[in-house]
Structure 1
């Protein structure tokens, strides 16, 4: 719930109270002093309302002649006991009404932190993300997302852009760039330290780490995550709900990729670093644009009557010279081309992986091979993925009888070449298991208690191309 405090002049007081009565809003009239000292007969009206009723109530007061720019405070409350409170709750229980402009701006600013705290949390989250990526541990990486404070600058930048607050927008964009750059530098420094102290392999195929391999370049999956996170953040910031989980989602799209860039540069793989940096840039721009577009669709616009909240696009066009406009146009065209290229290249990658999966299944289901099941098929790309074709396809196969299946790798490689026209190395990894069932009515023997034993045998793996 919210508590509205508004200063009402004597000449419109009765009209304002009638407007509240018409909407069943209970209120209290308190003595007050005009901050300007010019209206000695003004009064402070206090009215508790449900959160979704704030905007309609303020609009009703404006229609009654109240100058809400003079003095208005919207505070949070726990509950209220008034003759009409239950009726108001029932009326607005299922009513979605975005927050008023002022409350939206205040909520976005509340999510922001001072620069020192922001950068300190970015350092901590980057350290944790780096360790999690090198250990290939999703749990540790998720922990880094929880403490990452990137949601604040993302929301304040988009809210500033939509409301026309150029100072808020530019300050938040600088904070985003600085925080992500700091995360890359921290990951780079920690990775170098781990290599120098021999706490990590000095020679490491960074792109073979699964959590890094999926972040080597912009792709459709990253685009979808960024759009979803941005839309969720735009809707969440306009409602009374918390933003913590949405903040984790935004961090999930940005922080691991920033840490992966630092790791790539530290291990001497610049293509990994450049690709993940491109992913970070692509993702943060997409999230900002998605949040701003969502807010625009929900009806938020710049306030043309105030000089501070002038329209951002109009102000930019009015004050920019031709070189600046040309630069903006070129950047926009490059970003659009990158987005289209990412969709096309990712579509080719997905087509190859579907063909590789089907080739592996067909080879395993050959009548000459029994008791085999495809568990997983993974494609490993070069450092410039997904631009390059796959270098290696790893097929994990379960074997129930521990038989001799020599030549399976060559068969799968040939089938992939026939389907895709690509020559790739194929590695087959066997996972053996035993199974047994106990007869009802008697205790199981030691062998029967081990009804399912899953063991990896790396020595039985094979490879072919």
Structure 2
């Protein structure tokens, strides 16, 4: 369940209270008059079922609560209340299937911002992938997969397409289009330096066995990207972040980017081209899967909760 807090001017208090009383899935409405200082106003809180969060937020936005005050949502891990559980039972659908759009948009917007931290993580991941490729080390490549932060912008693109959010799509596209070239460029420069001192050569790229999956692109690559992208989006909308680790080590976005830079510098343009293609296939597959999950997600609970065991 979720805790809803609404901070509004005093003249909106009755409107908000009437709105919450009419909504299904709302319990334990509290009013704290006059506690807001800047701007002055009241705080109204309630416990709401996740399934009805979109309807409640939409109704609050209709009375301009987000502009005249603020709407805040907090995930509650534990709720011990018969009244709250009854309100959740009255709400249509199942909590695990509910997509709280404002929550999802806020999460993906934060994770898709082009920042120094994002660039550093992506660059470090590409460098680890490059080292794993030239040393034929599967462990190092997997570490690079987990470290890569690229799923955030890719999920944001999917959300932006479904919700038609141009600003979110632009933010995510900037992060991807600026982040990958920068990370690959730094990887290429350091590869050139390593080649100059004799640490790596063309034979290094050609004699890999354990990590050759990085540039082995084909239909299976797209299928894996679809499955991983679907799992990643499901983990986001259901707030099960632990599943994201499995997503990270299923796709070869960062390893493909790092190996493309290494192979290009060392002159193996065939491997570089196939690695770049692998990168593109994975990026597109993840976005397509994310869109499909959001579009085809369950709209409601097919079995009444009272009839479930």
Please give the range of the TM-score, normalised by the shorter of the 2 chains.
0.7 to 0.9
* Mapping of residues 142-291 of structure 1, within 5 Å: 142-200=142-200, 202-204=201-203, 206-216=205-215, 218-242=217-241, 244-245=244-245, 248-249=248-249, 252-291=251-290
Q: Is the 8 A contact 2:123 2:184 kept in 1?
A: no
Displacement of 1:256 after TM fit? 0.9
Q: Which runs of 5 or more structure 1 residues have no equivalent in the other structure?
A: 301-465
Separation in 1, partners of 2:269, 2:248: 28
SS of the residue 1:26 aligns to: strand
Between structures 1 and 2, the one with greater helix share:
2
- Following the alignment from structure 1 to structure 2, what is the Cα–Cα distance between the partners of residues 185 and 56? 46
Give per-residue Cα distances to partners, 1:143-196, cap 9 Å, x unaligned: 111211111211222222222221221221121122222333233233323322
Correspondence 1:25 to 2:27: yes
Match of 1:281, SS state, is helix
Distance 1:199-1:205 versus aligned 2 partners, 3 A rule: closer
1:72 match = 71
Aligned to 2:46, the other structure's residue is in SS state strand
Please give the alpha-carbon distance, in whole angstroms, between the structure 1 residues aligned to 2:298 and 2:191.
46
Q: Distance in 1 between matches of 2:194 and 2:294?
A: 44
Equivalent pair of 1:24/1:84 in contact (CA under 8 Å): no
CA shift for structure 1 position 142: 1.0
Which range is displaced more, 274-283 or 73-82? 73-82
SS in 2 for 1:96: helix
| In structure 2, distance between residues paired with 1:283 and 1:209 | 21
**Distance in 2 between the 1:166 and 1:246 partners?**
29
1:52–1:287 CA distance, 2 compared to 1 (3 A): same
Instruction: Compute the displacement of 1:288 (Å).
Output: 1.6
Higher RCO (CA-CA < 8 Å; seq separation 6+):
2
Q: How does 1:443-458 map to 2 (within 5 A)?
A: none
Two-structure CA RMSD over aligned residues (Å): 3.4
Deviation of 1:115 (Å): 1.7
- The answer (yes or no) to whether the contact 2:148–2:248 under 8 Å persists in 1 is yes
Q: TM-score, normalised by structure 2?
A: 0.79
1:372 aligned residue: none
Q: Is the 8 A contact 1:123 1:186 kept in 2?
A: yes
Give 1:284-433 correspondences, 5 Å limit: 284-298=283-297
Gaps of at least 5 residues in structure 2 are 300-309
In structure 2, what is the Cα distance between the partners aligned to 1:173 and 1:110? 14
The 10-residue stretch of structure 1 (208-217 or 276-285) with the greater mean CA deviation from structure 2: 208-217
Report the CA distance shift for 1:187/1:24 in structure 2 as closer, same or farther (over 3 A).
closer
Per-residue CA deviation, residues 48-67 of structure 1 (Å, 9 max, x unaligned), is: 235445335546x569x855
Q: Is the 8 A contact 1:32 1:43 kept in 2?
A: yes
CA distance in 2, matches of 1:289, 1:24: 35
Distance change in 2, residues 1:35/1:110 (3 Å): same
1:350-393 per-position Cα deviation (integer Å, ceiling 9, x unaligned): xxxxxxxxxxxxxxxxxxxxxxxxxxxxxxxxxxxxxxxxxxxx
User: d(CA) in 2 for partners of 1:236 and 1:242?
Assistant: 6
Q: Which entry has the higher C-alpha Rg, 1 or 2? A: 1
Instruction: Rate the CA distance shift 1:31–1:81 in 2: closer, same or farther, 3 A.
Output: farther
Picking from 8, 12, 21, the partner of 1:9 is 12
Distance 2:17 2:188 in 1: 66
Alpha-carbon separation, structure 1, partners of 2:42 and 2:190: 60
Question: Given that residues 111 and 152 in structure 2 are in contact (C-alpha distance below 8 angstroms), is that contact kept between their aligned partners in structure 1?
Answer: yes
SS in 1 for 2:47: strand
Against the structure 1 CA distance between its residues 172 and 275, is the aligned structure 2 distance closer, same or farther, given a 3 Å change threshold? same
TM-score, normalisation: structure 1? 0.55
Q: Label 1:246 to 1:57 Cα distance change in 2 as closer, same or farther (>3 A).
A: farther
Query: How far does residue 13 in structure 1 lie from its aligned partner after superposition?
Result: 5.1
Partners of 1:32 and 1:76 in 2: how far apart? Answer: 25
Summarize the Cα distance change of 1:14–1:113 in structure 2 as closer, same or farther, 3 Å threshold.
closer
- 1:117–1:247 CA distance, 2 compared to 1 (3 A): farther
Tell me, yes or no, if the aligned pair for 2:264 and 2:272 is still in contact at 8 Å.
yes
